[in-house]
Amino acid sequence: MRKAITVTEILRNFSDYINRVSYRGESFILTRGRLKVAELKPTPKGCTSLELKEYLNQAPHLTATEQKSFGQDLINLKRSTKKEKLKDPWA
């Protein structure tokens, strides 16, 4: 739930609000007068390159036969796809 706070309030207690966002995951709508002007919220969490590497190492792998078959499927798909000229919808 996002709580509405004034820009003045956030300026007076900026460090506290940053900590609440960072450590508690809270979100705030900043208002000036009665108008909503901005939102303060945590950034989306992703994964580090090390975490991605570990995930990929644990993920299932294709066998050599499966890799070859998949490669052939891609070649066949490319061959079967007709190269059509794009049509201009406004023409």
Q: What is the CATH number of the domain that holds 30?
A: 3.40.1620
Q: Is 34 a member of any domain?
A: yes
**Is residue 12 situated within a structural domain?**
yes
- Is residue 9 one of the residues assigned to a domain? yes
Q: Considering the domain boundaries, does residue 13 fall inside one?
A: yes
What is the pLDDT, as a whole number, of residue 84? 66
Residue 62 lies in a domain: no
User: In one letter, which amino acid is 35?
Assistant: L
- Residue 29 belongs to some domain of the structure: yes
Please, which pLDDT band fits residue 21 given cuts at 50, 70 and 90? Answer: very high
Global pTM value: 0.49
Expressed as residue numbers, the domain containing 14 is 2-40
The whole-chain average pLDDT of the chain stands at 89
Q: How confident is the model at residue 39 (pLDDT cuts 50, 70, 90)?
A: very high
DSSP string covering the chain, please? Answer: -EEEEEHHHHHHTHHHHHHHHHHH--EEEEEETTEEEEEE-PPPP---HHHHHHHHHHS----HHHHHHHHHHHHHHHHHS--PPPP-TT-
Predicted confidence (pLDDT) per residue in 44-88, tens digit: 888 888 888 888 888 888 899 999 999 999 998 888 776 667 677
